[in-house]
Amino acid sequence: MFKLIPRRSLIIYINNNRVIRALRHYGQIDYISRRMHYVVMYVDQSDVEKVKEKISRLRAVKKVELSARPDLDPTLADLELTGVYQLHDEDDKK
């Protein structure tokens, strides 16, 4: 049957767009910003550190960052308690 493989997103900042062709060998490219010079790419979770190290050694790559999305808590019930949001005078207080 079909088996889900956990993946992680990498944000890769590049110097020029020629390196995009080489990046296709390391994972699945999801988004390319040619104007802002970055690429969003998905890699298998088990291979993240190996692939990140290999990509960072490429000549036209400035830096490689892991996506923070899996580390965020998706069940934020009260944003005020977590410090993400603070009530102001204009907000309706219950």
* pLDDT tens digits, 10-47: 999 999 999 999 999 999 999 999 999 999 999 999 99
CATH topology of domain 1-93: Alpha-Beta Plaits (3.30.70)
pTM of the model: 0.75
**Can you tell me the distance from the alpha carbon of 55 to that of 32, in angstroms, rounded to the nearest whole number?**
16
Taking 3-state DSSP, the helix, strand and coil percentages for the chain, each rounded to the nearest 5, stand at 30, 30, 45
Residue 93 has what DSSP assignment? P
| Banded pLDDT at 69 (limits 50, 70, 90) | confident
Locate the domains of the chain by residue range: 1-93
Tokens of 10: 């990498």
